[in-house]
Each structure stands twice: as C-alpha cells, then as structure tokens.
Structure 1
C-alpha cells in the first residue's frame, strides 16, 4: 500500500522526535513518503498531488485546519484510476488522521483517542485489519468541511482567537470564553438579526442572529467535554442546523447552557433546529463572519450549503 503523510510542522502537540516515531511506525505497515506543509493552503496541493499519483492512503499530522485542507485537496483530485459512476469514497485514497492540533474535533468525532501516540496505534490497527468507514462531508459553496461551519457569532469568535494567537496568546478554553463574551456584548448587533435561511420547497426562516451547521456531533470540545448544539448530527446523514433568532441575554444564555447538558436538547422560542438537511442557503443583510472546521474565512453575505454523502473512506 502506497501512502503519503502530510505533516504540518507547526502542529501544536508534536515535536520533531515524535514525528520521527510516527514515520517509523507507519513505514512498518505502508510504503510511505513524507511531505511537509510550508504555507496556508499547501496541504490542499499536497493531497491533490498525492491522489493524482494514485496513492492508496493519505495520512495527516496536524490539527483540524490541516485535515480540512487535505480533504479539499482530495475532493478536487482526479486519480488515475477514475471510473464513471464511482462515488468519491470509491475513487479517492483513504484518509487517516493523526491528531496533532490543540482540539482535533474531526479525529475525536471518528472515535480516535485525543493523544497522537494512541491515535497512531488505532490507525495502525485499522490498517492491519482493513478497518475503515465511509463518511459524508458538508460543502459550503465550493469548499468542503468535515465537522462544522458557522455564520455569525461563532465565526467572529474564531477570528478574535486567531488574532490573539498571532499576538502570541495560547489557545485555551479561557481565551475562547473571553473572546465569546467580548464578541457577544461589545461587537454584535444583537437587536437586528440579519440572516435568512432558504430551503427548496420550504418557507424561508428570517431574522436569524447566528447559525451553526454540523456534519457530525459534537460541534467542538471544551477540554474533554463535548459541546453539542446538534446532538443528532452524523457523518452518515445530511447537515444539522441550529440558529438563534434574537440574541437576548436570557434566551441566549439558556440555549448555550443547553449545549453543555449531559443530554443536550437545545430548544426555545428563539431556537431553530433542522435535522438531516440536504441543502440550504444562508443570506445576510450585511457581511457576517464565516468559518469552516474552525478556520475563519472572512465575511460573506451569501453561502450555499449542501450535504455530500459517501464522500471519503477513513481509517479509524
């Protein structure tokens, strides 16, 4: 089996020595080449090139941003073995994800351990046993995502955190909490919800303040604790949506508290939830922050979302 390991050398939880250990472990099971990312977006190019070379497996070492880039590179590739009628999962290399970032939502949602040595052991076992799983992806315009997207406050919070990290701050739950409070109270126009959600054949949902989209559950983690706005979201189904209407302090606090419940079921007059949705479009009356898989992608006024079933085969 031919494989390519795409490494983000800035991955927060691995060192050069641990990367060497990982490479040796993988080479005990596959014919491996190692390629390092040098800039943002480079993992996309490396994954596309690997697929077009006809490799059987692409392994990532990095966080959720690296995984997202690799997935988008794979989905854009045309492997030499392409045959009409194949699903993407049938024609593309399999994907394996070694957790190397600070949160690793995608890997953990697949059931992989949080730490990279344990995750590597599980992947090696999956390769030996031929164990894999076919999953669906989400697509936002022309960009794919593995576990979540956001339009509004959560994306603006991610922008704040990214700016803080550029100033040397460490990504911690406390940093996310402070960024969320600052964004909600100081930088959000909570009195004038700007988002409309449109679905084919359905009445439009208007006056939405912020929207969370999930391709799986959980949405993210706070340390070891799952945060679940849409607890029924699944890689095997369409997309799940949670939108909050007017972002009043009391109703917003109640809804966010429900995310952390042992048996989450967010509900209320200011909450809209949709399950297993094939496609929809979000329209905004003014430019709003937009994120995919925890990466801030700028401001948008319109984003079209779609579920892409049987998109990838993953080793887990």
Structure 2
C-alpha cells in the first residue's frame, strides 16, 4: 500500500441552500478532519453563492499545490467541482464527493469507504472522465462529466425519478409520466447513417437514479472506456418496456467504446451529470473517454 497522501489545503465546497443538509455535513466533515488530521494547515468551508460558482471555487482551490477539493453535493454540484479542477490544469489536485442533495449516483456507485476515513487514510486512485465537445471549432469548449451524458428519454426519466420518489413502483410511475411527454430525436451518425433515436446515454457508471441499471458490464473507472446505451426509435409500448426494465431488472451488457461522434439534425438538449445543456442544430457532438483524468478519494 502506498504511503498516505497528506494535503496542504482541503477545500470543502457546498451549497448553503441545499435540500440535503449540505452545510451541516460540510461542517461535520471539517470537524472530523481537524480531529483525524491534526496539523493540516488549511481546512476551508467554501459556500457557493449562485449556480456555477462551484466551478470558480474549485478552479481557485486547485491553483494551490497539493490540494484536496471536496464537493458536498449531488451529481450536479460535483460536476461543477470536477470541471473547475480540470479548468485549473492541476496535475496533483485530488477530488472527492460527499452525498448531499437529490441525485448522488456517482457517490453511490463509486464510493469504497466513508469519506472522512478515506481522506485520513489518504489512498488516492485515478478515474476516467467523459469529455463532450460540441462543434468543430478547435476553440470549442470541452465539458467534463464524471458519470454520464444522456440524450432523449432515459436521462429525462432519470432526473424525474430523483425528484423525491423512492421504491421501484414509484420509479415505474415516474417512467410512465415522463414517457407521455417524450418525442424521439434524429442524428447523423459518424458512419453516415441517419438514425431516429429514443434514448442515447454515454455512461461512466452502471446505474442512474438509484434503480435504473444501465449496464451489467464490469467496467472499471480507469479502463479508458465508457458504455453506450442506445434505444433506436420504436413503438412507444416497446420503449416503455425498456424503460421499465431499466428501472427494475436492468438492461444487461452494453457496448464499450473510447469515443463516439454524431451530428445533430435539430437543436438537441442533453443531460450532463443531471445538468441540462443544449447542442445547436447541424453541430458535431463528440464524446470521449479521458483515461485516468482525475485523482480521487472515497
């Protein structure tokens, strides 16, 4: 086992208005670390002030050598922290997430031990990220995802499921409700084939929204691959059966790739770790695995 990693600064970023008790959890983590890591010179609580602020806070925190940046948040808050750290270009910053808020798929599927214990033990590992680039311009901004990027039905259902529902029966009710509002979308695939699709998800984790099992593949977070879960457009009752299957027994093995590229036909919204964005019509979208891009704990 490697020697425990010790940090010069630990920044704990949280939303003071979180529905998941983030301020209390952040303060508790600070107290645990002050007790378990005596002598750490700088353990800071950094509350966000507005949407997107965590990106700026994380970028600034990652500008300090030998830093740990912790996100006390759901998947969206952690996404901001990851993008802030990546924007800083730091080679030694370590990230971690403590679950707070509604959606905590990444923490739930990837956590190996309680966070305070993981930080004290200091065993850092690497994980892949997903990178999405919208547009052919060499200056087009790349955005990173720690868990998934989704277009169409499945990500919409996943976000709807996270609005407080619990249990497989309520998950299925959520699927039906969202299904009634759903329309397929079209893309030109990189092989020149035009496809009409109900759902397209690029996944770095095997599950979304607690009960939706996307893939049974034994993927590792540092294998340089991600799973592609594609539902071609079909009769609505068939789509519904697939969505219910995802929420109950799972979808089974899915293909793994290193990159995937297509061109939008119409403006196309997508979910990136639960955050809604949009790609313009007639635009190239490229999703890639960035192997071992992030140092993590927990």
TM-score of the aligned structures, taking structure 2 as reference length: 0.80
Hey, what's the Cα distance between the residues in 2 that align with 1:40 and 1:143?
16
Cα contact 1:74–1:92 (8 A) shared by 2: no
Match status 1:289 vs 2:269: yes
Partner residue in 1 for 2:86 = 75
Question: Structure 1 residues 177 and 218, CA, compared in 2 at 3 Å: closer, same or farther?
Answer: same
Higher mean displacement: 176-185 or 148-157: 176-185
Which residues of 2 match residues 12-91 of structure 1 at below 5 A? 12-14=19-21, 16-28=23-35, 29=37, 30=40, 31-79=42-90, 91=91
Shift of 1:178: 5.7
Contact 1:63 / 1:101 at 8 angstroms: preserved in 2?
yes
Asked if the contact 2:186–2:266 (Cα under 8 Å) also holds between the matched residues in 1, the reply is yes
What number of residue pairs does the alignment pair up?
A: 273
- Secondary structure of the residue aligned to 2:206 is coil
| Conserved? CA contact 2:222–2:291, under 8 Å | yes
Counterparts of 2:98 and 2:286, CA distance in 1: 30
Could you tell me which residue of structure 1 aligns to residue 221 of structure 2? 235
Measured against aligned partners, the alpha-carbon deviations of 1:293-313 in whole angstroms (never above 9, x if no partner) come to 011113544421010001111
Q: Is the 8 A contact 1:149 1:292 kept in 2?
A: yes
Aligned: 1:7 with 2:18: no
Query: Distance between the aligned counterparts of 1:60 and 1:18, measured in 2?
Result: 11
Cα contact 1:158–1:296 (8 A) shared by 2: no
- Structure 2 distance, partners of 1:286, 1:55, is 44
Q: Which residue of 2 aligns with 1:108?
A: 108
User: CA separation of 1:177/1:297 partners in 2, compared to 1, >3 Å: closer, same or farther?
Assistant: farther
CA deviations over 1:83-113 (Å, ceiling 9, x no partner):
xxxxxxxx1311111111223111112135x
Change (3 A) 1:284 1:178: farther
- The 3-state SS of whatever aligns with 1:221 is coil
Counterpart check, 1:219 vs 2:208: yes
Say what the alpha-carbon RMSD is for the aligned residues.
2.8
Residues 87-146 of structure 1 show CA distances to partners (whole Å, capped at 9, x for unaligned) of xxxx1311111111223111112135xxxxxx7xx2222233222221000011111001
Residues 5/245 of structure 1: CA separation in 2 closer, same or farther (3 Å cut): same
* Deviation by residue 1:207-258 (Cα, 9 ceiling, x = unmatched): 3332011012123314xxxx22222244223121111112312321332243
Aligned to 2:294: 312
SS in 1 for 2:205: coil
What's the secondary structure of 1:58's corresponding residue?
strand
Partners in 2 of 1:315 and 1:75 — Cα distance? 16
> Are the aligned partners of 1:278 and 1:306 in contact in 2 as well (CA < 8 Å)?
yes
Correspondent of 1:258 among 223, 235, 245: 245
Q: What residue is the counterpart of 1:185 in the other structure?
A: 180
Distance 2:270 2:83 in 1: 17
Q: Helix, strand or coil: the match of 1:76?
A: helix
Matched-pair contact (CA < 8 Å) for 1:214–1:240 = yes
- How much has 1:290 moved relative to structure 2? 0.7
CA distance in 2, matches of 1:212, 1:172: 22
Whole-Å Cα distance in 1 between the matches of residues 296 and 15 of structure 2? 19
Deviation at 1:13, TM superposition (A): 1.9
Structure 1 residues 187 and 206 mapped into 2: Cα distance closer, same or farther (>3 Å)? Answer: closer
Secondary structure of the residue that 2:150 maps to in structure 1?
Answer: strand
